[in-house]
Structure 1
Amino acid sequence: MAAASLSPRARYREQTRAEIKEIALRQLAEGGTAAVALTRIAKEVGLSGPALYRYFDSRDALLTDLIRDAYTDLAAAVAAAAGTLPAGCARRTRLHTLATAVRTWAVAHPHRYLLIEGAPVPGYTAPPDTLDSARAVLGPFLACFEGAWPASAVRPLADQMTAWARRDSAVAEWAGEHVGVDSQGTALAGAVLVWTQLHGAVSLEVSGQFQGMGHDAGTLLTSQMDSLADTFALD
């Protein structure tokens, strides 16, 4: 619903929720999820503790909203990168372009990226709808593997993914938005391998684990994506 069509009370509520999330993001950037404190947020916003719970009934609820927002922004970055590619571009080029888009967004927003890569706090369980958000990020990568020929080492994974799509209509529908039926197993296998390699490298980079290791993180990611492209015989 457009902001102009909201009642004054509803607009105030949305503005307050946005302010709460802005402060929470700042706390997240300063000290990770452990630094996100509802009592401190309430004080900064000018609300009592109980009043804050009218906007977010728990810290987990606030974190969930931040996770949804992060996925939405990352998916938009990946979709924008995909939109720059000419029709019929090489699949290898597409893979590199999308992987670079993820890395670029993550490096620009490290605290938000780390929030969506793993459990933000012990015991936290993400709601089911965040799966759709994650698929929105991963979906454009499926087209990188349309008609690919996986090496023997990854064929067992492709077979499992083919079986998964056949027994889970939701997976088949999602994959079908990006590739043909005959390519779904291979595309899902490729996308899962991209996800593990890409996010392994990017998570290590944004958390500072590559310092002093003598390599450029972008070069590492390019090497990983090229190796994966070779595994699937991408042009």
Structure 2
Amino acid sequence: MTGTGGTGPKSPRERYRAQVRAEIKQHAWEQIATAGASALSLNAIAKRMGVSGPALYRYYAGRDELITELVTDAYRSLADTLRPAAEQGADLAALAHTVRAWALADPQRYFLVYGTPVPGFRAPAGTTAVSDEIMAMLLDACAALPAAEPAAPFAAHLAERWERAGGHPAPPAALHRALSFWTRVHGVLSLELAGHFTGMGFDPAQLFAAELADLLSR
């Protein structure tokens, strides 16, 4: 018996389709690493695979569908990397170092989700579900820290926008800390991965640790 809902055994045709889609994504990542996501081309991938462009469109309707799946895979990879640490009670610093290790392991994957947006591409709403999982883990860690109330104007802004936190029970102060943490982590990581620290004579890992220590001391 073959499954059509994703839980049962797959037919040979379904397995073949999954294999081809995986191969397409592998070529897409290679293209991104070489020329960036903005240069992603299904026709170029088809040429690399030795098939016609129209044949490839049987697996992906277009570039945006392929990028959407790559973005979702990247978010899922980070969420799956963070979850074991979060479930074991990792603090905010440990989660930050986990994010850095994930980013250094594959900078192009990192830049696809946290770098410059791909021109003309708008990610569907469904891709935010996985990023919400990531933020929920950060909010859990922030809620476990001693509360530090944000400045009044920003507290009011947080209260007004609270629904954007996905209903997480953490107070606005924890959300403020999570946002500060997330922006500073990505600020340092983006500069490091883009090579802006090259030749400056210091260890980026030590800068990252110093930024975390400063953030957590506030």
Per the TM superposition, whether the score is higher than 0.5 is: yes
Q: For 1:125 and 1:36, how far apart are their aligned partners in 2?
A: 15
Q: For 2:207 and 2:76, how far apart are their aligned partners in 1?
A: 26
1:136 pairs, out of 133, 137, 143, with 133
Verify: 1:38 aligned to 2:42, yes or no.
yes
5 Å matches for 1:1-235? 1-2=6-7, 5-85=9-89, 94-146=91-143, 148-150=146-148, 154-165=151-162, 168=163, 171-173=165-167, 175-176=168-169, 179=170, 184-231=171-218
Aligned-pair identity (%): 39
Q: Answer whether contact 1:159 1:185 (CA < 8 A) is retained.
A: no
Cα displacement string for residues 169-207 of structure 1 (whole angstroms, at most 9, x for unaligned residues)? x6352x13xx4xxxx211111111111101111111111
Most deviating of 75-84 and 201-210: 75-84
4+ aligned runs moved over 4 Å, structure 1: none
1:90 aligns with none
1:195–1:150 CA distance, 2 compared to 1 (3 A): same
Q: For 1:41 and 1:212, how far apart are their aligned partners in 2?
A: 36
Q: CA RMSD in A?
A: 2.0
Return the offset for 1:9: 1.5
Cα displacement string for residues 29-69 of structure 1 (whole angstroms, at most 9, x for unaligned residues)? 22211442211211222321111111111112111111000
Q: For 1:105 and 1:141, how far apart are their aligned partners in 2?
A: 16
1:155–1:103 CA distance, 2 compared to 1 (3 A): farther
Cα displacement string for residues 121-148 of structure 1 (whole angstroms, at most 9, x for unaligned residues)? 2121111122222222222111232263
Q: Answer whether contact 2:92 2:138 (CA < 8 A) is retained.
A: yes
Q: Matched residue of 1:5: which SS?
A: coil
Structure 2 stretches lacking a partner, 5+ long: 1-5
Cα displacement string for residues 94-123 of structure 1 (whole angstroms, at most 9, x for unaligned residues)? 111000010000000100000001444212
Structure 1 stretches lacking a partner, 5+ long: 86-92
Q: Answer whether contact 1:27 1:36 (CA < 8 A) is retained.
A: yes
Q: For 1:151 and 1:214, how far apart are their aligned partners in 2?
A: 37
Q: For 1:198 and 1:68, how far apart are their aligned partners in 2?
A: 21
Q: Answer whether contact 2:115 2:190 (CA < 8 A) is retained.
A: no
Q: For 2:202 and 2:123, how far apart are their aligned partners in 1?
A: 35
Aligned residues: 212
Letter in 1 for 2:147: W
Of structures 1 and 2, the one with the larger relative CO (CA 8 A, separation 6+) is 1
Letter in 2 for 1:218: A
Q: For 2:26 and 2:51, how far apart are their aligned partners in 1?
A: 15
Give TM-score, length-normalised by structure 1. Answer: 0.82
